[in-house]
Amino acid sequence: MEEIGVAIIDQGVDFSYHRLTSSAAAEEVTLPREAGKAGESKSMLYHGTNVASIIHYLAPASRIISIRLDTEKITVDLLCRALEYCAQRKDVHIINISLGIVRSSPPEILRQACMKCYHNGQVVIAAAHHETSYPCYPAAFPTVIGVGTGIFRRMQDFCYVGEGYINVLAKGIHQRIQGESGKPAIRSGTSYAAAALSGRLAYIYQQDIQSRHIPVANLLQRYSVPGRSTHYPLAADMQSDRKPLPEYIADKRWMLFAVDDECIQPYFEDPRVAMVMNYPMDPIDAYGALVRKSGKKVIPGIVSPKMLEFIDVLIVGNFFSNTNLINTYFGYQLIDFFRAHGKRIETTDPYIQTLLDGASVVATPSILEPT
C-alpha cells in the first residue's frame, strides 16, 4: 500500500489530540507572517485539528502534513506561499484547504499557485463558503475541487455534481468534533465536508495505486452516490429569469412554501392561494408575521396528510436562503411528501426546478481542465 501524503493548509494541527495519536506519519511545517517570526499561540489549532482527525479517520494510513499558517487572518499571500511549498514536495498528493477568501474577483496569484499544483498532479480540495452570493477562493478555481455540504448518512459518502463552483457535496454536517473549549461539540460546515472528501480520496488512492492515473473528476464520478445539497448555487450562475407559474394551475388550490423568497411573496394576496406553509424554525415569528399581513392562513411547518384535503398544488420557492438546516431538511421533506401522494409541485426558481427534476444528484462528466 503506497503512502499518500495529505497536506492540510490551516492554522495548525495538535497531533497530541486523542483522535490523532494513532497516526503513524505526521509532520508540521510553519509558515510565519514574516520569515523567522513564528508565533507560539495554539488558540486556533482546533479547526485544523478537527480537519486532520476527519482525514485520519477515513484514511488512517495516510501521511498528514500540516502546513501551519501562523496568523489569525488568512491572506492571499500566505495561501500562495503554502501552495508553492506543497508544489515543491513530491510526497504531497492531496492538498486540503478547509478555508478560503470570499471576494467578487479571483486573486490572480492564487489562481497561478493552484494551477502549479494542478500541473504537478496534486489534487487541491477546498471548502466553498456556505453562503454563495460570492465565490470563495480557491474553491471556485477550475483547477480546484470545490466542496459543499450535502446530506449523507456515512462519512465516506459524497456526490460529484460536475463543473461549476461546487463540484462535490460531502458530509460536513452533524460532525462530532473538538470544540473551541477542547470539549466535544457538534459542528457543521464546508470545512469538514472538504476534509471528508480529502480523506476519502486518500483512502481510494491507497487501496488502488492505479487510480492516481485516472483524471480526478472521473474517479470522483465513479465513487459518487446520490446526495442532496444544503446550498443554493452561486448567485452568478443562476441569473436566468424566473419563469411564471403555468396557466393551467390557475383554478387550483395553492399552498406556498419558502415565504422568505421574494419571488414567492407577490403571490401572498393571490385568491388561488389557500394557505401558506411556514418553516418549522421561526423563533421570532418573522416569516409568519410577514404572511399574516396578507390575510392568508399560515400553518406551522409540520407535514400532515390532513392538508392534502385542501391543497391541489404546492408552490415552492428558494428554501435555502435562510441558514437553519432544519428548515432546509423540511423543504426536502415537504417535496418528498407531495411527490409520494401524487400531488403537483411547481416553482418559479430555476434551481428548485432542477431538484424537482432530479438533476441535483446526477453527476456530469468533467475533466476539470484549467481555463
Residues 6+ apart with CB under 8 A from 181: none
Look at residue 371 in the predicted model and tell me its pLDDT: 31
Note the pLDDT of residue 206. Answer: 92
**Within a domain: 354:** no
Same domain? For 10 and 50 the reply is yes
Domain that holds residue 217: 5-233
> Which pLDDT score is estimated for 361?
43
Q: Which H helix or E strand runs over 287?
A: helix 286-292
Domain boundary among 172, 198, 233: 233
Higher pLDDT, 87 or 358: 87
Together in a domain, 157 and 296: no
Average pLDDT over residues 98-127: 95
* pLDDT exceeds 90 at position 42: no
Tell me, what's the pLDDT at 31?
A: 81
Among candidate residues 23, 47, 130, 157, the one labeled active-site is 47
- Catalytic residue list contains 208: no
Give residue 67's pLDDT. Answer: 93
| Grid cell at residue 364 | 456530469
Same-domain pairing of 221 and 250: no
Q: What is the pLDDT of residue 338?
A: 94
User: Does a structural domain hold residue 361?
Assistant: no
In a domain, 309, yes or no: yes
181 and 83 in a common domain? yes
Cβ-based burial of 293 (10 A; exposed 0-12, middle 13-18, buried ≥19): exposed
Q: Which three cell numbers stand for residue 283?
A: 423563533
Do residue 225 and residue 255 come from a single domain?
Answer: no
At residue 362, does pLDDT exceed 70?
A: no
More confident residue, 299 or 113: 113
pLDDT at 48: 87
How many domains are there within the chain? 2
Domain assignment present for 190: yes
- Contact (Cβ atoms closer than 8 angstroms) between residue 62 and residue 202: yes
User: Are 195 and 289 found together in one domain?
Assistant: no
Confidence of residue 246 (pLDDT cuts 50, 70, 90): low
pLDDT tier for residue 360 given thresholds of 50, 70 and 90: very low
Q: Are residues 286 and 203 in the same domain?
A: no
Q: Is residue 366 part of a domain?
A: no
- Mean pLDDT of the region 40-62: 82
Q: What is the mean pLDDT of residues 143-156?
A: 93
- Structural domain contains residue 358: no
Of 190, 209, 233, which residue sits at a domain end? 233
Q: What is the pLDDT of residue 287?
A: 78
Same domain (yes/no): 326, 276: yes
H helices, E strands: number in the chain: 8, 18
Q: Is the same domain home to 221 and 300?
A: no
Residue 56 pLDDT greater than 90, yes or no = yes
Given 210, 233, 256, which residue is the final one in a domain? Answer: 233
pLDDT in tens, 190-237: 999 999 999 999 999 999 888 988 999 999 999 999 999 998 876 655
Q: How far apart are CA 351 and CA 232, in angstroms?
A: 8
- Distance CA(198)–CA(192), nearest Å, equals 10
- Strand partners for 30: 68
**Annotated catalytic residue within 23, 98, 191, 229:** 191
pLDDT over 90 (residue 334): yes
Distance CA 287, CA 273 (A): 17
Residue 367 confidence (pLDDT) above 60: no
Backbone angles phi, psi at 313, to 5 degrees: -135, 135
pTM: 0.85
Annotated catalytic, 10?
yes
Q: How many C-beta neighbours within 10 Å does residue 73 have?
A: 7
Q: Catalytic: 47?
A: yes
Tell me if 371 is assigned to some domain.
no
**Better pLDDT: 251 or 48:** 48
CATH of the domain at 267: 3.40.50
Residue 1 has pLDDT above 80, yes or no: no
Q: Does residue 210 form part of some domain?
A: yes
Average pLDDT over the chain, rounded to an integer: 84
Cβ–Cβ < 8 Å for 101, 136: yes
Same domain, 181 and 309: no
| pLDDT at res. 292 | 80
Q: List phi, psi (to 5°) of 13.
A: -135, 135
Please indicate, yes or no, whether residues 203 and 328 belong to a single structural domain of this protein.
no
254: which 3 cell numbers?
395553492
pLDDT average, residue stretch 67-90: 91
Q: Provide the CATH number for the domain around residue 184.
A: 3.40.50.200
The answer on 193 and 89 residing in a single domain is: yes
